[in-house]
Every structure is written in structure tokens, then in C-alpha cells.
């Protein structure tokens, strides 16, 4: 596989600059960083594609290009465009509201930054030992969100689904000498005469 070293260096620089720009507080720089990362991913997919060949049409003989990286590149372009449009709308709305596109610290961020290690250890230790084995939010609650219905719960519910278990009802012998299952009151439809 013949890969250009220039493409690898450009891709690495784009990744580095994109990550650095996304760590800023300015939404405009976050957008620029996201666009740089999107272009770096497109270059990565171009590098992964390998040696260029003919267009991957049906029936083409010889060396053809791999169509999967091409499809992934098109998908990455569309996703980058959509997220960029969303970020532009956020930047515009932020500029309308505060005449700035920077993300400011709120009370929660300041309180989190000023928390000491002792407070963090206390918060980690606040675990109820009773709830460690609980796997759902409804353990020990009288009402559960799901009610399992059986054929006897509602008159209109017919439970005739096939099961892998053997029939628990006893079998009776019919006139031909073969065994047939006996019919219980639950198996008959309302208004049907017993056999």
C-alpha cells in the first residue's frame, strides 16, 4: 500500500489543531475546531482507502477503489455539515442574548471547582449499602410498571401461543385409540358446549 507521508502529516496537524481549538471557551473556535476535525477524518478515510483505482462500478475489471471509505467520507461530510449548522445557530443565539460567543462559568461550575478533596471523598462515600444489589428503580415498590396478563385475567384474552414445554394437562383416550388432551373449562370459548 502506497500512502503519501504528506497526507499523514496534514491529517495529524488538522487533528491537533482541531482538538486544541475545541478546548477553547469561544463557540466560534469550537466550530472551527470541529470543522478541522471533520476534514482530518475525511483525510484519514482517504488514507485508509489505499491505492486509488478505477471507479467501483459493477462489472469493472482490474484494480478498483474500495467503495466503503468513499461512502463513509460522504457520510462524514453530511454529518459535519449538519453539526456545523447547529453550532452556527447556537453561536448566533448566544450572540443575540449576550453579545458574546463565549461560554461563561455558572454557579455549578464555580462550586465544582472550589470543592476540596475531603468533600469529594465524602460524596463518594454516600452510598447506601441496601441499594447496591438493586438493579431497577422499582425494587420494593408495591406497584410495578409492567403487569403480566394471563388468559384468566381478561375474558377477551386468548392465550394460544405455542410453547416449548410439554402440555401439563392429562391426556384422555379418544375413540380411535389415540390419546388426545382433555379440554378444561379454560380452553373453551364462552358459549361453547363441552365435547
Note the pLDDT tens digit of each residue in 32-59: 999 999 999 999 988 888 777 777 777 7
Note the pLDDT tens digit of each residue in 81-126: 999 999 999 999 888 888 888 877 788 888 877 877 777 777 766 6
State the average pLDDT over residues 131-154.
Answer: 60
Q: What is the pLDDT of residue 129?
A: 46
What gap in Å lies between CA 44 and CA 73, rounded to an integer?
Answer: 9
Buried-exposed string 105-128: b where 16+ CB fall within 10 A, e elsewhere: eeeeeeeeeeeeeeeeeeeeeeee
What percent of the chain clears pLDDT 90, i.e. is strictly above it? 26
Amino acid at each position: 500500500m502506497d500512502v503519501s507521508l504528506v497526507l499523514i502529516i496534514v491529517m495529524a496537524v488538522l487533528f491537533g489543531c482541531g482538538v486544541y481549538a475545541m478546548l477553547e471557551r469561544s463557540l466560534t473556535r469550537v466550530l472551527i475546531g470541529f470543522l478541522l476535525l471533520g476534514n482530518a477524518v475525511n483525510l484519514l478515510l482517504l488514507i485508509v482507502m489505499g491505492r486509488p483505482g478505477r471507479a467501483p462500478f459493477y462489472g469493472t475489471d482490474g484494480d478498483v477503489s474500495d467503495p466503503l471509505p468513499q461512502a463513509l467520507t460522504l457520510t462524514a461530510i453530511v454529518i459535519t455539515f449538519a453539526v456545523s449548522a447547529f453550532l452556527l445557530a447556537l453561536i448566533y443565539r448566544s450572540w443575540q442574548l449576550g453579545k458574546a460567543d463565549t461560554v461563561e462559568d455558572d454557579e455549578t461550575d464555580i462550586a465544582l471547582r472550589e470543592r476540596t478533596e475531603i468533600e469529594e471523598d465524602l460524596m463518594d462515600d454516600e452510598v447506601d449499602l441496601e441499594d447496591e444489589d438493586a438493579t431497577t428503580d422499582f425494587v420494593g415498590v408495591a406497584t410495578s410498571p409492567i403487569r403480566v396478563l394471563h388468559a384468566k385475567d381478561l375474558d377477551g384474552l386468548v392465550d394460544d401461543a405455542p410453547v416449548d414445554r410439554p402440555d401439563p394437562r392429562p391426556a384422555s383416550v379418544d375413540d380411535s385409540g389415540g390419546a388426545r388432551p382433555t379440554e378444561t373449562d379454560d380452553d373453551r370459548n364462552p358459549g361453547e358446549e363441552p365435547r
